[in-house]
Structure 1
């Protein structure tokens, strides 16, 4: 009987602690002088704790947390998909701890919110608003190769001539909707609206598994996505459009040349921060520059760079039959620490295809007109190296009609910014610089 009473007492104490920690907690991360508010919502679910995170300035709400624990007044929150961890001690109604993401560690104090937290709407002044001065048509079609359905929006200027330019928009990495929405920014919707008002039509599509498009497969790679875009070219061709171009952002700028090589109905391309260097080299550079923008010490940056290079070489050269198991063993020998989600990501078909990709293979065969643009503060696809590589590849192709252009002071999303850091993306009200919109539309119409 005494044993039972003791167990009940312990359970009651654990429940009391859980009650104390439930609720909404807020704090601010200081990221290179920028204040980034975070709100953590903690609830009870049976005997477990569940939580979610809001990042109001970045327009991100209800980010799911994989695990939440509160033991001995220590709160621990893990979001492996984002490489994020928070551990803090509950003291005097506050939580004092450390926020970690990748190799970045920032002190974070949390204060209980005694009333419901209201997240203020984020101002996105460029987001298109009805009524529109052009025609909009919701469409869908099937990719005959993979049998998946793709859904999207046609924005067609009034009195549009079917020999006038129409562009298929290609999103960057990750599952994105037809507006390429991120932090409440809708860059593809902004571009489509601007183009339509200038006489240029567009087709923007939901990626596989989001919006109106059907789910893809776990084995999908950039090659499958290229098939989707090629199917979109065929769809527009069947509708009678004769001047079809592609506009791809980031990974979309890698996919566009793949499609242009296999589909001769593509007449021109616009590459927005498209990669020109081999993707393993690009990722090493991206990780280094991204870490530098968060204030990571140079020694850590160089150590990470060496570690990433070794890992990517292993992935590129692997010829065995048990890849994930062997990758796990290899990472252990390097002394690196990766969780299961990170290892699974590196082991997936998409990443293995991506890390082996060399844009030159396709770009060096492209002879149609190309406009390649980058922002000077883009750390994800650094401008000088990638534009130089694109220039070299198109020259090798003996392409007589291409232009590369670097926009001063713009980031990966082509926003006017201070540093180009990821943390700025959601803080900036501007979705895309008017300089970029004017450059692209002028080039397309003159082409």
Structure 2
């Protein structure tokens, strides 16, 4: 009896120790998505009995993802990254000394087990990425958005440490982005900033709020909030003696292209803007288009599908309370999406995950603002030089339709100093491509078309 009691006590102690252990440190694991093996590194810290996590995905060369809440109770690790569109739930296996759980992002669900310790990753640079030492001056900077009470971290590159130079601020696309706008193994903002700085134009690029080394909450921010981050960047540049404050420009990619005019119209210090793969139609119309062109499942009735998509948007953008919108939208998605996915033999679990993901995305402040925002209204007000570049094979933002919206807005506003150019065979990220589809981005070695880079620099030099 004494032996049994001793064993039970020892067992209880081991369980308590396992559940109360400090899990600070690096935890890494691999999971599969199709044929692709994806490596995750979770960097967990404990401060004042509270945990925080930063996630790196070296497979995609993405780092600095900051989920909002991390809890570890009774051996269960919950990482709530609803602010960045993900979550992880894992249970600690004392025998295997690992967390065994599930990673969810959007409608995707993957088994992901995490073991203590980081994995060594060989960073395979793309051919266009610069190699240090650079032939120009580089400085890590931090500036504040005092209104939002956040600090934004970035990199400023100047042609030389001494002198006064024109400068552009790079504004990233949708989703939490680092200062290099890292995606699918590419770093387009790093390539763009290197190219322009070597040509004589300074560049400021920074991590989105709540991402990388920047503070704040990305998940509660809207396009308008991001424009105020850009205004903070402008204010910071004006404090420096090495910046030609009469020649500060904005270059916005994708959503950055609709943030740029919003920021420019709220500042007297912008000399020009460059819109890369920008939209020129309302968020509602773009979302309807993308719901059809980027959809990953077929439907029998396209007219009915569009009608129901518009109904969902009408619910989201209504003046009802959040609770009313959520209830109404839940019912609509179940009436609208569930039958379609069921007819395609999608498992019930996956359908539920997809609908829940749609709900979370739709109810975010960003979505509600974006759906009601029409960049043409801001583009119309611009009285500074504007360059608009879009790729002819962009599958995310149709070049013809969106550039027509941009053109009409500029003409309506009386702006005669603009250039709108559709570049042949380039995708949403200005890579030379075959199909322009999203699954092709990673396969392309080129990060940024030299033709697009030259168009940008040549146009800017004619304006400064």
TM superposition score normalised by structure 2: 0.72
- Contact kept? 2:208, 2:218, Cα under 8 Å: no
Q: What does the per-residue CA deviation read over 1:191-220, in whole Å, with 9 as the maximum and x for residues that have no partner?
A: 000001100111001111122211236532
Is 2:377 the counterpart of 1:376? no
Q: What does the per-residue CA deviation read over 1:212-247, in whole Å, with 9 as the maximum and x for residues that have no partner?
A: 211236532111111110011111112243310000
Aligned to 2:336: 334
Is 2:129 the counterpart of 1:130? no
Aligned to 2:156: 154
Is 2:399 the counterpart of 1:398? no
Aligned to 1:419: 435
Is 2:251 the counterpart of 1:247? yes
Summarize the alignment of residues 40-119 of structure 1 with structure 2, pairs less than 5 Å apart: 66=88, 80-85=104-109
- Contact kept? 2:170, 2:203, Cα under 8 Å: yes
Name the SS of the counterpart of 2:250 in structure 1. Answer: strand
- Contact kept? 2:137, 2:161, Cα under 8 Å: no
Is 2:309 the counterpart of 1:305? no
Aligned to 2:170: 169
Aligned to 2:68: none
Distance 1:263 1:158, change over 3 A: same
Distance 1:196 1:268, change over 3 A: same
Aligned mates of 1:443, 1:123 — CA distance in 2: 29
Aligned to 1:103: none
Aligned mates of 1:429, 1:400 — CA distance in 2: 37
Q: What does the per-residue CA deviation read over 1:326-382, in whole Å, with 9 as the maximum and x for residues that have no partner?
A: 322333343545433331221111111111111112111001000011111111111
Aligned mates of 1:272, 1:80 — CA distance in 2: 31
Aligned mates of 1:276, 1:300 — CA distance in 2: 28
Aligned mates of 1:274, 1:349 — CA distance in 2: 21
Aligned to 2:23: none
Aligned mates of 1:305, 1:396 — CA distance in 2: 30
Distance 1:201 1:344, change over 3 A: same
- Contact kept? 2:282, 2:373, Cα under 8 Å: yes
- Structure 1 residue 37: Cα displacement: 3.3
- Contact kept? 2:333, 2:355, Cα under 8 Å: no
- Structure 1 residue 273: Cα displacement: 0.7
Aligned mates of 1:287, 1:410 — CA distance in 2: 22
Aligned mates of 1:169, 1:360 — CA distance in 2: 20
Aligned to 1:279: 283
Distance 1:361 1:141, change over 3 A: same
Q: What does the per-residue CA deviation read over 1:233-282, in whole Å, with 9 as the maximum and x for residues that have no partner?
A: 11111224331000011111010000011101011000111111001111
Higher alpha-carbon deviation: 356-365 or 308-317? 308-317
Aligned mates of 2:357, 2:185 — CA distance in 1: 26
- Contact kept? 1:38, 1:53, Cα under 8 Å: no
Structure 2 alignment gaps of length 5 or more: 1-28, 41-54, 66-85, 92-100, 112-118, 339-350
- Structure 1 residue 394: Cα displacement: 0.8
Name the SS of the counterpart of 1:242 in structure 2. Answer: strand
- Report the aligned-residue RMSD: 3.3
Name the SS of the counterpart of 1:420 in structure 2. Answer: coil
- Contact kept? 1:59, 1:122, Cα under 8 Å: no
Distance 1:318 1:326, change over 3 A: farther
Aligned to 2:21: none
Distance 1:262 1:429, change over 3 A: same
Matched residues, number: 369
Higher alpha-carbon deviation: 226-235 or 118-127? 118-127
Pick from 137, 142, 145 the counterpart of residue 143 of structure 1.
145
Distance 1:59 1:154, change over 3 A: closer
Aligned mates of 1:147, 1:123 — CA distance in 2: 35
Aligned to 1:211: 212
Structure 1 alignment gaps of length 5 or more: 1-23, 30-35, 42-51, 70-76, 88-116
Aligned to 1:237: 238
